Each structure stands twice: as structure tokens, then as C-alpha cells.
Structure 1
Amino acid sequence: MVVPTWIYLIVLFGLSILTILREPIYICILAAILAGLATHKLIPSFKPQLIKARLCGTDMHKKDKRLLPEAVGVVSGMSYIVCLCLLIPFPFVKWFLNEKNGSQLNQEEFPHHKFEEFIAGILSIVSMLFLGIIDDVLNLRWRQKLLFPTIATLPLLMVYIVSYGVTTIVVPIPLRPIFGRIIELGPLYYIYMGMVAVFCTNAINIHAGINGLEVGQSIVIALSIIINDFHFLLTGAQPAVEAHTFSLFFLIPFVAVSIPLLWYNWYPSEVFVGDSFCYFAGMTFAVVGILGHFSKTLLLFFIPQIFNFLYSCPQIFKLVECPRHRLPGYDEKNNKLYASRADLTLPGAVSKYGKIILKIFEFLRLVDIEYDEKTKEMKSVNNFTLLNLFLIKFGPRSEKNLAYMMILVQILSSALAFFIRYKLVDLVY
């Protein structure tokens, strides 16, 4: 692919400005813009190659059942990794520019722990992107998908152990008479961080199934964390400033490479993002949350994903019949989506505990159960996903309209997260 001349001009102009500014964050923004432009140009060129490699799938929610390239998230992932690798020196540029004994680096002040965190974060994201590609090719089982993030998180956990080793948590005010102000969790703290990584990488993958949803929700989450980062940069103390600057170096390029992918993945989609995008996006969030020391705040921005996971648990853990795909159904006549259903008449479709859960969900009006008119036995139930729940509550609608609704839910959830984080937190901590 021939790189247009104007891109070189932008690079030269940007470098001349940055030479004067010497501000790492501006370098990050410029590199992110270039990575985004490169991604926008690369995606069309990769489409025929992916189809030729048989990494493609049918868009089931379209009348023409088009064959689209899958795993295009790999293109965004590659651009992202290249961008991060090029950015490695810049968060530490002031130490390299610090003159001592001529132009020697001041080794005593250099933040080796931050450098190690940055490299470990990149390594974890690269590992997760690679494992996502394997999943796109081999179509792995859910149990195997849960194992992958655990392996990819090991570099993060090792760096955390070496650099900090802090395994205490602050107890919420209502529980302090029982447990005290601080609890030492020991190894349980590392298990918690590993679970955060596993959840983040799979939560986006579970909350998917329509054009634009995977990338759209990821961009909203990333922008929410970026807003939170800038809040701390303007008002926080030095340790918080360092942690949230670290977060920005990961998230600004992520948003930049995700926007072109959303452009091609939005309704009517030209590409599928694949599991590779969901995995590397989730691991990016896990990296900034764990190494930035704001994992609880991070989880607040995952409210829809947390609800969707908890709602899906009866099917994920086989308490209720779980089809291979739980995508919404498609009505070709009206060009609308409707809630897909699980057949409860199959042998072993509902366990003893599954029946109890179905009754509870029915009482809470979270499911639509179809009963046999004669026997009064349960015949079918909607699949337990947030998409199907919305289709039950608001009726069949177009895929584009449903995508807008889901993105709006994500935005409103982020607003709720900010309210909890900055208004209600004083009642708890």
C-alpha cells in the first residue's frame, strides 16, 4: 500500500511541533491519529485476504445473507500494538532529556517500575490478541476461552508483585465495625485481579451479536475512562497523575484504532470484528485498571456487561438450555430482530435449580416463558442476553435501532458510574 504524501507532511509537522513542546501526551495523540488513519486504510485491503483465508461468516440479520470477512479486529490490534511499541520511550522522555554529567540519564530517578508496567501491559495485550486470533481460527469452547485471559494476565501480576505487592483493601464504612478499616487479602488479591482480567476480556464478547455493538461499547468505555483520567490529571496528587497518564497512553491509541473499525462494522456492516478485537479490547481495559490501581472504578463502567453476564449465568453454567448461538432472531419480512428462544422440551433442558431460577426471573419479569396450554409445562424461554431482554421489553425492532439503544444504555451507564464514583463514594468509603 502506497502511503499518501499528506500523511508524511502531517508526521513532519507534528514532529516539529512536538520537538518544541516535549510533552509525551501530545506525542501520544499524534501517534494515535496516525494509527487511526493507517487502520482506516488497511481494513479494506485486508478484507479480500481474510475471505480468501476462509476467515469469513454470514451476516444472519440481513436478507441477502452476505458473506463478510471476520477477525478484522486483528487489523486494529496490529496498528494498536505498533503504535504502543513506538510510544515506549515517550512517557519517560524527561528522564532521557535530563542532563547530568553531560547528557547521561539520571539512573537514580528513572522510574523502572513504570517502565516494567508499560512493557508488561503491552505483552499482556499482545498475548491476548494472539489468543484471540487462535479463537477466530479454531472456534474454541467457553472453558478454553476462560483459560486464555488467565495466562495473558501473568505478566501483569508478576510486575505488580515485584513493584508493589500491596494486597490490602479499604473496607466500606458500614462493614468497618466487623472487619476494621483495612483487610489483608494476601493471595486472594491476585486472584481478584486475575478475575478482573478474565471478566473484562469475556464481557465484551458475551455482550455482542449485532453490527457495531462490540466496538461501540468498547469506545464508550474507553472514552469514559479517559474522561476519568483527565479529571485526575487536573485535580489529583502526583501518584494519581502518574497512574492516569499511564492509562491515557494505552487508551488514546485504542480509541483511535477502534473508530475506523466501527466505521466499517456499523450497520450495515462490511466486516465482523471477531473475537480477536473483543479479547484485546478487554485486556486493554484490564491493563489500565490493574496497573493504574482503579479496578473498582473500571468495573463501574462495565455495568451493562456485569448485568448481561449475571443474567446469562443460568445458560452459561448449563442450568437452563443454552443454544450454540443466542443471537436475536431475524424476521426477513419486516427486517426486524426479535428475541430468540431456548427449547425447554429437550431432555435435561432445565435442571432442578434452573427451574427455581426461571421462576425467580419470571417473578422479576426478566424472562418470557411459553407454557404448554394442556400440560402447563414450560415449552420455551427467551435466551438470557441483554439484547433479547430489550427485544422482549420494547418489541421487535431494526438492528440499527437496537444498536443505537445499546450504545445509549452504555452512555447512560457511564453517567451513572460517574455519579456513583464522585457523589455516592463518600457514603461508603
Structure 2
Amino acid sequence: MARNVGGAQKRRKEEGADYKPSADPKDGKDTKDIKPKSDDAPVMTRKTKQVLLLAALCLAPYFYQLLTVELQEGVKRSIFINLLMSIGGYFLTVRLIPVASKYLLRKNMFGYDINKKGSEAGTLKVPESLGLVTGIVFLAVAIVFQPIFFTPDHAWLPEYNAGLMCICFMLFLGFVDDVLDLPWRVKLVLPSIAALPLLMVYAGHTTILIPKPMQGLVGTSLLELGWIYKLYMGLLVVFCTNSVNILAGVNGLEVGQTLVIACAVLSFNVMRMGKQYLYVETPEDILRQEAHCFSIFLMQPLVAACLGLLVYNWYPSSVFVGDTFTYFAGMALAVVGILGHFSETLLVFFLPQVINFLYSTPQLFKIVYCPRHRLPSFDPKTKLLTGSNDMNLVNLFLRTFGRCTEQTLCIRLLLFQALCCVICFVLHKLLEGWYK
């Protein structure tokens, strides 16, 4: 059984699937090498300095707000306890990934980096599906933290557990996809199945707030959607999980975009918990505050686990994250957007993924020829990537801004991701009080 699984993995990578980057020891500057203890263990390089710099840039707005926004003492204490546990999750992820990589290689779960094809780095076997470690650490932190904030009769406890169940379910299905290499039509169904626990237990409102300029036309400020709202929730889960998976194929891009979005969500949560937005005087205010607390308690462990994975996945990557990570990360973001009641804001944070999906639609639905993989071409002499005519954001950036190294391309895409998040906050401030 293990040999068949490994064979499927090897064939999938050799045929040119959208596999993720591998490590090139010659390119690894300012890295800490971890020497393998046996022939089965890969050569792992830690890009700690680069990742900590990225973390400082992404988390600076959140920490500033966390220290300056006035919150209830009990809430702030719970957030800091969750933060300390998340930091522990980061170190645990960093320690477990080399161990898991060794066992994955033994089972022939590895790939070759197509963005380094023709160079020595393109011949290295890179362990696949390391998103499994990230997901397990995330779930462990979230579950252990549960009794610290939630009492057995807490109103949010069923939805909290349902959210964790959906994330766990999606992590499992993502790993199944990495092993079996499922077709796209099946990948669209998987998130819908994984979202069932959340949809079944969801007890929140199914109404939407009509924008003020349109309330006169509709005749009401609130519109009850009923089952249509739950259908929207299911579609949001499908989009979030698959959109992270589609915008991929560059060292650190999948984890990096998740990190940027999660940090933006954290900043938004703290901002909405400030007294200028929330007075905690009515039952509705209390529910809103708990919704944002719920989001923070899941996003902090997600950020920490992503940073631990990015230490090895940043260019030159020593591991591949696999569909295991992209499905897990997309589901985690969708869960907090739905249960935190800010799905519209979440979609603006996902603007690069929305653009990439819309631009890729002709190829994804076979209107235009879609190759097995849609990655740029690599020049082994110059080590530069050249954009192909394939319709995705990665190639569009290369065609627009010119050839560049893989690391530069990833940084450009992450800067665009961060810019879209900043635009979301600006729009939120400009439209506040007028739009809703």
C-alpha cells in the first residue's frame, strides 16, 4: 500500500504537477543547516531571519492595536495566554517538520521543483505534504486552549468545536488529495463535505445588513436570507480552500499569503473590539465581542504554525506544503470569517485570490487549453523565471514587471497581498457610517 501511494506521488510530481519549491544548498544564505542523521533524512535549511522579518512586518499593526486599544481585562488576558501557547506551537512546528520530512521521504512522498528544473536543485527529492504538521500543531494549540476561555455551558463552545472539526476534516481530506491526486471536480466537492459540521451547528443570524444607500429601495435595513445564507457559507468555504490552492507554485507563496491574510484578520478583530466600535453594554455587543475573540483564538495559532512552516518553505524551500496545507489554511480562514460575521471583509482580504480565480476561469473550466501545470519557465543559467501565457497571477506579474528570481516574485506577490489588505482597511474607514 505504501509503495503504491509513493508511486502515485512520484508520478504526479514527475509529470509536472504544481509542486512547490525545494531547497538549493548553494542558494541558501543566512540559513542554519540541519544535518541529516541518516540517509533517509533530507537536508533542511532554516530561513529564520527572513521569516522573523516578515513576521515583524505583518504583525506590527496587530501588536500595536493590541497594546493600545482598550479591551476588557479578562479578554486581554485570554488573548495573551493564547499568544503564549501559539509561540510554543511555533517552536513545536519547527522541531517536528524535519522529523516528519524523514518519514515522508521513506514513503516516497516527495516531489521535484519545476521552478528549478535544469539546475542541481531541481534534482533534489523534496518531502511533500508538510502542511500536515502545521495543521496538527494548530489543532493541538486550539484544543488545549479551549478550557481556558470556554466554560462547559458557554454559548460559543458548540460552534468553536464545529469549526475545529471542519478544519480537522479538511486537513484529513487535503492529505488524502496529496496521496491519491484527486481530480479537480472532486476537489470542489471536498470543502463542501468538510463544511457540513459548521453548517449543521450554525446558530447565528441568517440576515444581512442592507447598505444605507439601498435601504430606501429595499424598504428594510435587514434582509432575511434563511437557507440561502447557509448556501453562501458553503460556497465561501469552497472558494477560500481552493483559491489558496490555485495561487501557488512559488517558494513560500502559499504559506506567505495565508500569513498576510491571517495577520490582517487579527488587526481587524482587535480594531472592531475597541470602544469606538463596541461598548459591551447590550447582549448584541457581547456576541460581537465574543465573535472577534473566537477569531483571534484561532488566528494566532494559525499565524504561529505558518511561521514555523515558512522557516523551511521560504526560498530556497526545503519542503513542499502540499494540498494538505492549502485546504487546511483556507478552511481556517473561512471558519473565522463565517463565525466572526465578517465574511465580506474577508473576501476583500482575498482580493488577489479573487482576481487570480477570475483571470484563471477560462483555463480552469477548459474554455482555453489548460496544461498539467501553469508555472513560469526557469532559465538555469540566469536563475530567472519567465512568465508563460498561462492565465494566472504568477505569470501575469512576470509578464507585467519582467523576469525575476523566484524569491523576488514571491515578495512582489506578497506585497500585493498586503496592499489589498491595506485597501480593505482604508475602504472600511471611508465607508464607515455611510455605507453600513
Bucket of the pairwise TM-score, normalised by the shorter protein: 0.7 to 0.9
Match of 1:224 in 2: 264
Match of 1:203 among 243, 248, 262: 243
Residues 1:50 and 2:89 aligned together: no
Q: Which residue of 1 aligns with 2:307?
A: 259
Q: What amino acid maps onto 1:178 in structure 2?
A: L
Matched residue SS, 2:93: helix
Q: Quick one: which of 363, 373, 379 aligns to 1:315?
A: 363
Whole-angstrom CA distance in 2 between matches of 1:194 and 1:255: 24
User: Given the alignment, which residue of 87, 108, 119 partners 2:145?
Assistant: 87
Give the alignment partner of residue 132 of structure 1, picking from 174, 186, 190: 174
Is 1:326 aligned with 2:374? yes
Q: Which residue of 2 aligns with 1:101?
A: none
SS at match of 2:156: helix
Separation in 2, partners of 1:393, 1:23: 47
Aligned to 2:387: 339
User: Over the residues paired in the alignment, what is the CA RMSD in angstroms?
Assistant: 1.7
Count, aligned residues: 350
Q: Equivalent residue of 2:233, what SS?
A: helix
Deviation at 1:394, TM superposition (A): 1.0
How far 1:234 moved relative to its partner? Answer: 2.3
Q: Does residue 24 of the first structure (1) align with residue 86 of the second (2)?
A: no
CA distance in 1, matches of 2:236, 2:429: 22
Q: Provide the rounded CA distance (Å) in 1 between the counterparts of 2:272 and 2:402.
A: 42
Paired with 1:91 and 1:141, the residues of 2 have a C-alpha distance of 41
SS in 2 for 1:23: helix
Gaps (5+ residues) in structure 2? Answer: 1-73, 280-285
Which is greater in Rg? 1
1:119 aligns to 2:161 (yes or no):
yes
User: Is the contact between residue 376 and residue 386 of structure 2 (CA under 8 Å) also seen in structure 1?
Assistant: yes
Cα distance 1:76–1:332, how it changes in 2: closer, same or farther (>3 A)? Answer: same
1-structure distance, mates of 2:287, 2:227: 24
Q: Output the CA distance in 2 between the equivalents of 1:21 and 1:386.
A: 40
Opposite residue 159 of structure 2, the aligned amino acid is E
Q: Which residue of 1 aligns with 2:16?
A: none
Alpha-carbon separation, structure 1, partners of 2:241 and 2:233: 13
Structure-1 residue corresponding to 2:408: 401
Q: Which amino acid aligns with 1:138?
A: L
* 2:223 matched residue in structure 1: 183
1:116-150 C-alpha deviation (Å, 9 max, x unpaired) = 01110110000000000001101111111110110
1:269 equivalent in alignment to 2:309: no
Matches of 1:426 and 1:328 in 2, distance apart? Answer: 45
The residue identity in structure 2 corresponding to 1:69 is: P
What amino acid maps onto 2:136 in structure 1? Answer: M
Aligned residue number for residue 73 of structure 1: 131
1:351-362 matches, cutoff 5 A: none
Is this contact kept in 1: 2:115–2:375, CA < 8 A? no
Matched, 1:392 2:399: yes
> 1:159-170 residue pairs with structure 2 within 5 A?
159-160=201-202, 163-164=203-204, 166-170=205-209
Q: Flag structure 1 segments of 5+ consecutive residues without an equivalent.
A: 1-19, 97-109, 341-381
Q: Secondary structure at the match of 1:245?
A: helix
Matches of 2:159 and 2:235, distance apart in 1? 19
TM-score, normalised by the number of residues in structure 2: 0.78
Cα distance in 2, alignment partners of residues 404 and 302 from structure 1: 17
**Equivalent pair of 2:386/2:402 in contact (CA under 8 Å):** yes
Q: CA deviation at 1:51?
A: 1.1
CA distance 1:197–1:329, change in 2 (3 Å):
same
- Aligned-partner Cα distance in 2 for 1:192–1:22: 32
Whether the 8 Å CA contact 2:240–2:334 is kept in 1: the answer is yes
- Residue 266 of structure 1: CA displacement? 0.5
Distance 1:210 1:27, change over 3 A: same
- CA-CA distance at 1:192 after TM superposition: 0.4
Partners of 2:181 and 2:171 in 1: CA distance:
15
1:337 partner SS: strand
Give the Cα separation in 2 of the matches to 1:184 and 1:273: 40
Equivalent position amino acid for 1:57 in 2: G
- Deviation of 1:297 after TM superposition, in Å, equals 1.1
* TM-score, structure 1 as length reference: 0.79
- SS of the equivalent of 1:428 reads coil
Structure number with greater CO (CA < 8 Å, separation at least 6) is 2
- Deviations 1:183-229 (CA, angstroms, capped at 9, x unpaired): 22221111101011111111110001100000000000000000111
- 1:149 aligned partner: 191
